[in-house]
């Protein structure tokens, strides 16, 4: 896998790689993807089954409830006037 | 000019889409839990009511309905999105290829699907250096996303479209009008070749302003011989302008995968037993066509209240529809605030009777108006009919109290003891009286017996 | 239940073998009479009163406000949770060497690995009498360490045990299971941790757990599993097959399961795709390691925290998984892998129609030395999973049993049953261990 692609994927994944990491991963991913090309030989089947057993129609009734103390959760985060602090936007 | 809208409507469920947190909260970050905060190990569970509402909306919009649906993860990084993926529907919307008619034109509806809302970001600090403060109360609120075809041709038409659509949708899902918070839209607008997306506009007024500004901006550029850049912009509510929103345009590949934690849903199972509701504007169309009355008048009636439309239809069976409409939009409308809480089968009957008496010239027009006013005020329109009415009511109450003397005794220490009587009489009278009448009469009778 | 170790011995064993990333503060329960039976939980399972770090630095300091459902159910039975066991970061590994904390050492030989990713759980089970460990498996993370440490490892059907409170690796592949010293312990605790949990929809489709007797009579051995094995493992496995036939009246059939060759690729594509989305939430906000530098642009803020706190293997899998679902690659990798999973499931269903179990060795070799692991290329390490991955990909329940020793080091064999047929696994476990002597390491401190 070429370095440019590794850089692009790293950006999408919000990972900052050093140049030596970039080279290392380019090599590793190349080897692994080469092995993955075995998948090309397998027959294609149309499926939208995302689980190995069928999971269907599991729903929850619209009843509000509070299992965990919201205040404790809020206190465990970095807040200012009860709003959670986050980084710069622009 | 081509305008397309991606409309996000918050569903008025009591709990969030994937967790049981209440959807109404006062203080910031007070309705949160591990699931809507995306804590490790938490898991989504789908709210049945949200799915039902989405099905009703898609059906109303004449969509081709999916038989089986599932959810997908849309991965992107932003401080308001706790899991850094949004659970949405990528390749399995609830319905597709529908339409909604406005001003005689059918506007295409490409798709309707369900997804979760992210939290609400407040920007603090100087422009260009803003940091974020986030309220996660909104995180996980159910949204229905409606994507239109770019069939709208002006900002006015877009505003009109959204306004009419919301009147109808609100009736289906049960939100009240005037809640600007609960609707957001992304608009795609192009005057020439390139399309500009204006994201995250809240409410109808802002949408119209944003579209007008953007149409104007693009027009000016084209007139000056310049190109319109294809980009994402956002609407600044305070300054009423659209601005380039480059911040979100860094490398983003949503990389959709299925959401295994939820599985699939059979929509046919959900649809069974979901009533098809007649929405206000559809009703106005039906009423106008069926009774041959002005559409605008019918529309005025349904937008005031569906109960007023019920009353109109009862009148229109008894007298000429034109006459019925005049009385509805006239004296009845004038007293509507007082009349609405008193509505019952008996009141409907009384009102119809009054109008019939006027039409057959047994009473004058002004006497008819006076009597409508009296009914609205809860007074007896004529002495005779009310006396008869009261007698029946009084005897029902008396009969019950004779058989249950304990009630009078209990009432002395607990007024709620009257509820048993009220309940019994309401049932026995089968809707002849409204609850206010029964409560007053019951109290009078019990007080009289306390002696 | 035989006696549990004293707190002193427990601490000494932990120091030597690096079993726990966190020991309970209060171990006095071990000295009660009668002694309270103990269990441990892999550090990816949330437990109130402990951190849950899943072997990762990025979760340093995270104290979950709730118990994972399997943990809660064990605690409800009066079991004492003595600690969270060491593991590969987020489950990414076959030897527990990718831990961001301590790397557990094999109780039979300290220069060798425990296997992974539930390495600490296997070490605990092997070393502590009366212990049962909660582990989790995505591609074989219960089977592998159980095999290398010479204990029993049961991975139930996908969806049998609630995953609420399990820190995710791959949502369509993760399962919570048990490591134990004998079959009776598995039979006792499987019903306790199993069963629908409204907080995990995937646990709500199971038929009721049926542990009525089901006698294993006929077993299939796929020839695709008999390649690339070390000669010692091949020999021990062959001896075990003989024993099954002669001592336990089990019929052995050699079969062919050609789609097994695709299983490893499909598994790694799906697992890394799901994992790369599951790990997106770790960013320096809200929980775990916090980044205090909010004046950074959010992309830099997130990238800085993630790059500084994820280990190498985590980064590798995030990159792989992100790539496999990107526009232009998604069909070839992610969508194809979904199709291949269905292929592998069909293959197993076909074979399990006229066989009670599919049987293979668990791992192609015995526990390797740490020095050997360091020299492995990533792909080599992935390929070591080729025997455990297929049942994991298919969500089938499977069990590893000690079946022999090579120069003192344990060899395991893996039995795979149909979806929901854990009872077949318990049957073979009970019958096998009634004759086979399971060895535990003799450790003098």
Helix (H) or strand (E) holding A75: helix A70-75
Q: Is the dihedral of CA C419, C389, C132, C279 positive or negative?
A: negative
- Pull the structure tokens for residue C406: 């090579």
The tens digit of pLDDT for each residue in C241-295 reads: 999 999 999 999 999 999 999 999 999 999 999 999 999 999 999 999 999 998 8
Mean pLDDT of chain B: 90
A89: nearest CB among B29, B33, B132: B132
B20: nearest CB among A64, A80, A83: A64
| pLDDT band of B251, cuts 50, 70, 90 | low
- B129 and B10 share one domain: yes
CB contact under 8 A, C294 and A54: no
B43: nearest CB among C200, C287, C302: C200
- B347 and B393 share one domain: no
Which residue would you say has higher pLDDT here, B438 or B293?
B293
CA distance B224 to C250: 87
Looking at residue B397, its pLDDT comes to 87
- B315 and B405 share one domain: no
Chain C residues within an 8 Å CB radius of B129: 295
By three-state DSSP, how is residue B21 classified?
A: coil
- B225 and B287 share one domain: no
A45: nearest CB among C307, C339, C377: C339
- Pull the structure tokens for residue C105: 């050492």
Assigned domain for A75 exists: no
- B207 and B195 share one domain: yes
Q: To the nearest whole angstrom, how far is the Cα of A15 from the nearest Cα of chain B?
A: 12
Assigned domain for A8 exists: yes
- Pull the structure tokens for residue B423: 């309940």
By three-state DSSP, how is residue C65 classified?
A: coil
- Pull the structure tokens for residue B301: 């009636």
Chain B residue with the nearest C-alpha to that of A63: B15
Q: Best of C270, C293, C297, C298 to disrupt the B interface by mutation (most B CBs within 10 Å)?
A: C298
Looking at residue B417, its pLDDT comes to 87
CA distance C79 to C74: 6
Marked catalytic residue, from C141, C194, C240, C276:
C141
CB contact under 8 A, A82 and B33: no
Q: What is the DSSP letter of B328?
A: I
Touching C: A residues 48-87, CB under 8 Å: 48-56, 58, 60, 67-69, 72-73, 76-78, 84-87
The tens digit of pLDDT for each residue in C381-394 reads: 999 999 999 999 99
Q: Best of C68, C176, C197, C199 to disrupt the B interface by mutation (most B CBs within 10 Å)?
A: C199
CB contact under 8 A, A64 and B29: no
pLDDT in tens, chain A (90 residues): 899 999 999 999 999 999 999 999 999 999 999 999 999 999 988 888 999 999 999 999 999 998 889 999 999 999 999 999 999 987
- B232 and B363 share one domain: no
Looking at residue C1, its pLDDT comes to 43
Chain B residues within an 8 Å CB radius of A15: none
Q: Please determine, for residue B284, whether its predicted confidence score (pLDDT) is greater than 90.
A: yes
CB contact under 8 A, B79 and A87: yes
Q: What is the DSSP letter of C285?
A: S
CA-closest candidate to residue B355, choices B392, B326, B393: B326
CA distance B250 to A6: 16
CATH assignment at residue A33? 1.10.20.60
Task: Kindly state the greatest CA–CA separation across chain A.
Answer: 58
The question of whether C117 is a catalytic residue gets the answer: yes
Q: SS3 for C131-198, per residue?
A: EEEEEEECCCCCHHHHHHHCCEEEECCCCCECCCCECCCCCCCCEEEEEECCHHHHHHHHHHHECCEC
Chain C residue with the nearest C-alpha to that of B76: C280
B43: nearest CB among C163, C276, C283: C163
Subunits in contact with chain C (3 or more CB pairs closer than 8 Å): A, B
Q: Please determine, for residue B248, whether its predicted confidence score (pLDDT) is greater than 70.
A: no
Chain B residues within an 8 Å CB radius of C325: 255-257
Q: Is the dihedral of CA A47, A48, A50, A52 positive or negative?
A: negative
Domain span at A31 = 3-38
CB contact under 8 A, C202 and B38: no
| Geometric angle at alpha carbon B434, from B428 and B438, rounded to 5° | 65
- B360 and B257 share one domain: no
Chain C residue with the nearest C-alpha to that of B20: C199
Instruction: Tell me how many domains chain A contains.
Output: 1
Q: Best of A10, A14, A54, A77 to disrupt the C interface by mutation (most C CBs within 10 Å)?
A: A14
The tens digit of pLDDT for each residue in B37-46 reads: 999 999 999 9
The tens digit of pLDDT for each residue in B17-27 reads: 999 999 999 89
Q: Best of C69, C310, C323, C328 to disrupt the A interface by mutation (most A CBs within 10 Å)?
A: C323
- B327 and B444 share one domain: no
Where helices occur in B93-191 by DSSP H, the ranges are: 155-173
The tens digit of pLDDT for each residue in B61-98 reads: 999 999 999 999 999 999 999 999 999 999 999 999 99
Subunits in contact with chain A (3 or more CB pairs closer than 8 Å): B, C
Instruction: Tell me how many domains chain B contains.
Output: 3
Chain C residues within an 8 Å CB radius of B253: 322, 326-327
Q: Please determine, for residue C109, whether its predicted confidence score (pLDDT) is greater than 90.
A: yes
A44: nearest CB among C301, C333, C336: C336
Chain C residues within an 8 Å CB radius of B260: 171-172, 202, 274
Distance, CA of C306 to chain centre:
25
- B229 and B175 share one domain: yes
Q: Mean pLDDT over residues C37-56, rounded?
A: 96
Q: Please determine, for residue B416, whether its predicted confidence score (pLDDT) is greater than 60.
A: yes
Marked catalytic residue, from C21, C56, C99, C117:
C117
- B367 and B295 share one domain: yes
Q: Best of B12, B14, B20, B173 to disrupt the A interface by mutation (most A CBs within 10 Å)?
A: B20
CB contact under 8 A, A39 and C332: yes
Assigned domain for A63 exists: no
Chain A residues within an 8 Å CB radius of C172: 50-52
Q: Is A31 on the interface with C (CB under 8 A)?
A: yes
User: What is the percent of chain B with per-residue pLDDT over 70, rounded to a whole number?
Assistant: 94
- B418 and B350 share one domain: no
B75: nearest CB among C59, C280, C327: C280
CA distance C247 to C244: 6
Q: Please determine, for residue B384, whether its predicted confidence score (pLDDT) is greater than 70.
A: no
The tens digit of pLDDT for each residue in B60-71 reads: 999 999 999 999
| Contact between C233 and C405 (Cβ < 8 Å) | no
Q: To the nearest whole angstrom, how far is the Cα of C327 from the nearest Cα of chain B?
A: 7
Marked catalytic residue, from C40, C42, C44, C273:
C42
The question of whether C231 is a catalytic residue gets the answer: no
CA distances from C112 to A19, B256, C17, C371, C442 (A): 33, 40, 11, 9, 16
CA distance C151 to C439: 9
- Catalogue all structural domains in chain C, each as residue range(s) with its CATH number: 7-254+357-435 (3.90.1300.10), 260-341 (no CATH)
CA distance A23 to A61: 51
CB contact under 8 A, B49 and A62: yes
CB contact under 8 A, A50 and B260: yes
> What is the interface size between A and B, counted as CB pairs within 8 Å?
144
B79: nearest CB among A64, A74, A86: A86
Lowest mean pLDDT among B354-358, C88-92, C402-406: B354-358
CA-closest candidate to residue B207, choices B216, B199, B196: B199
Q: Please determine, for residue B405, whether its predicted confidence score (pLDDT) is greater than 90.
A: no
Q: Mean pLDDT over residues C78-82, rounded?
A: 94
Chain C residues within an 8 Å CB radius of A58: 201-202, 204-205
CB contact under 8 A, A84 and C285: yes
Chain C residues within an 8 Å CB radius of A71: none
Touching C: A residues 7-26, CB under 8 Å: 9-10, 12-17, 21, 25
| Contact between B12 and B23 (Cβ < 8 Å) | yes
Chain B residues within an 8 Å CB radius of C295: 129, 131
Domain span at B325 = 280-381
- Pull the structure tokens for residue C260: 């097994």
The tens digit of pLDDT for each residue in B120-171 reads: 999 888 877 788 999 999 999 999 999 999 999 999 999 999 999 999 999 9
- B263 and B292 share one domain: no
Chain C residue with the nearest C-alpha to that of B259: C171
The question of whether C42 is a catalytic residue gets the answer: yes
């Amino acid at each position: 896998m070429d370095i440019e692609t590794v850089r692009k994927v790293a950006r999408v994944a919000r990972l900052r790689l050093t140049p030596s990491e970039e080279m290392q991963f380019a090599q590793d991913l190349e080897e692994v993807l080469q092995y993955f090309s075995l998948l090309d030989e397998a027959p294609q089947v149309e499926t939208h089954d995302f689980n190995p057993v069928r999971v269907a129609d599991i729903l929850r009734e619209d009843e509000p409830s509070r299992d965990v103390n919201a205040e404790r959760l809020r206190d465990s985060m970095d807040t200012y006037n009860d709003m959670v602090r986050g980084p710069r936007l622009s | 000019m081509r305008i397309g809208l991606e409309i996000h409507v918050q569903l008025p469920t009591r709990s969030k889409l994937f967790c049981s947190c209440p959807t109404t909260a006062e203080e910031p970050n007070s309705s949160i839990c591990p699931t809507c905060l995306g804590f490790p190990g938490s898991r989504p569970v789908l709210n049945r009511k949200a799915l039902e509402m989405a099905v009703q909306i898609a059906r109303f919009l004449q969509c081709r309905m999916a038989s089986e649906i599932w959810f997908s993860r849309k991965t992107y990084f932003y401080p308001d999105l706790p899991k850094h993926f949004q659970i949405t529907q990528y390749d399995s919307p609830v319905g597709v290829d529908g339409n909604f008619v406005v001003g005689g034109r059918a506007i295409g509806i490409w798709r309707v699907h369900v997804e979760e809302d992210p939290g609400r970001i407040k920007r603090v600090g100087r422009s260009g250096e803003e940091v974020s403060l986030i309220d996660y109360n909104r995180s996980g609120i159910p949204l229905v996303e409606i994507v239109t075809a770019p069939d709208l041709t002006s900002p006015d038409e877009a505003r009109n479209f959204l306004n009419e659509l919301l009147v109808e949708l609100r009736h289906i899902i049960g939100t009240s009008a005037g809640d600007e918070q609960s609707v957001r839209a992304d608009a795609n607008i192009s005057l020439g070749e390139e399309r500009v997306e204006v994201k995250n506009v809240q409410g109808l007024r802002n949408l119209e302003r944003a579209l007008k500004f953007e149409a104007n901006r693009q027009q000016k550029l084209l007139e000056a011989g310049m190109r319109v850049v294809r980009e994402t912009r956002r609407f600044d509510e305070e300054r009423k302008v659209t601005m380039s929103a480059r911040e979100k345009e860094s490398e983003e590949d949503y990389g959709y995968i299925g959401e295994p934690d939820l599985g699939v849903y059979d929509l046919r199972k959900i649809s069974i037993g979901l009533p098809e509701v007649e929405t206000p504007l559809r009703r106005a169309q039906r009423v106008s066509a069926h009774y041959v009355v002005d559409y605008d008048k019918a529309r005025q009636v349904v937008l005031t209240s569906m109960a007023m439309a019920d009353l109109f239809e009862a009148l229109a069976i008894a007298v000429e529809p034109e006459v019925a409409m005049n009385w509805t939009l006239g004296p009845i409308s004038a007293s509507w605030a007082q009349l609405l809480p008193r509505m019952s089968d008996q009141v409907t009957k009384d009102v119809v009777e009054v109008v019939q008496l006027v039409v057959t010239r047994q009473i004058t027009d002004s006497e008819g108006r006076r009597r409508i006013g009296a009914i609205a005020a809860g007074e007896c329109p004529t002495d005779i009919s009310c006396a008869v009415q009261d007698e029946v009511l009084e005897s029902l109450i008396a009969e019950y109290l004779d058989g249950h003397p304990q009630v009078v005794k209990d009432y002395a220490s607990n007024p709620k003891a009257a509820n048993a009587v009220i309940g019994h009489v309401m049932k026995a009278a089968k809707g002849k009286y409204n609850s206010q009448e029964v409560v007053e009469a019951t109290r009078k009778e019990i007080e009289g017996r306390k002696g | 239940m035989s006696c549990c170790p004293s707190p002193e011995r427990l601490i000494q064993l932990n120091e030597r073998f690096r079993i726990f990333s966190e020991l309970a503060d209060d171990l006095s329960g071990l000295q009660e009479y009668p002694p309270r039976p103990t269990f441990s939980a892999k550090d990816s399972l949330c437990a109130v009163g402990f951190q849950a770090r899943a072997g990762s630095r990025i979760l340093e300091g995270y104290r979950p406000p709730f118990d994972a459902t399997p943990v809660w159910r064990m605690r409800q039975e009066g079991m004492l949770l003595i600690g969270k066991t060491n593991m590969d970061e987020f489950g990414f590994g076959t030897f527990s060497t990718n831990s961001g904390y301590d790397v557990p050492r094999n109780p039979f030989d300290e220069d060798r690995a425990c296997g992974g990713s539930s390495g600490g759980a296997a070490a605990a089970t092997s070393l502590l009498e009366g212990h049962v460990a909660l582990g989790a498996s995505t591609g074989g993370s219960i089977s592998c360490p159980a095999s290398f440490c010479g204990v029993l490892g049961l991975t139930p059907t996908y969806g049998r045990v609630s995953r609420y409170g399990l820190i995710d690796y791959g949502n369509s592949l993760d399962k919570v299971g048990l490591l134990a010293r004998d079959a009776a312990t598995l039979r006792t605790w499987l019903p306790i941790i199993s069963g629908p949990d409204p907080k995990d929809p995937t646990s709500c489709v199971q038929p009721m757990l049926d542990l009525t007797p089901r006698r294993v009579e006929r077993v299939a051995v796929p020839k695709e599993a008999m390649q690339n094995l070390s000669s010692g493992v091949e020999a021990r496995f062959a001896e075990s097959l003989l024993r099954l036939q002669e001592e336990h009246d089990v019929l052995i059939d050699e079969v062919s399961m050609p789609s097994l060759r695709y299983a490893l690729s499909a598994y790694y594509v799906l697992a890394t795709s799901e994992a790369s989305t599951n790990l997106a939430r770790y960013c320096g906000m809200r929980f775990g390691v916090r980044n205090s530098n909010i004046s950074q642009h959010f992309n830099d803020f997130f990238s800085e925290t993630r790059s500084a706190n994820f280990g190498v293997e985590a980064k590798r899998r995030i990159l792989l998984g992100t790539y496999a679902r990107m526009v232009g690659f998604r069909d070839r990798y992610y969508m194809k892998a979904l199709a291949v999973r269905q292929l592998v499931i069909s293959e197993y269903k076909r074979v399990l129609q006229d066989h009670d179990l599919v049987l293979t060795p668990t791992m192609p070799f015995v526990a390797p030395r740490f020095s050997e692991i360091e020299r492995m290329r990533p792909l080599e390490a992935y390929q070591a999973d080729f025997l455990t991955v297929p049942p994991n990909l298919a969500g089938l329940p499977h069990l590893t049993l000690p079946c022999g020793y090579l120069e003192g080091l344990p060899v395991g064999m893996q039995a795979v049953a149909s979806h929901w047929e854990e009872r077949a696994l318990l049957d073979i476990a009970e019958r096998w261990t009634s004759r086979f002597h399971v060895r535990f390491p003799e450790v003098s401190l």
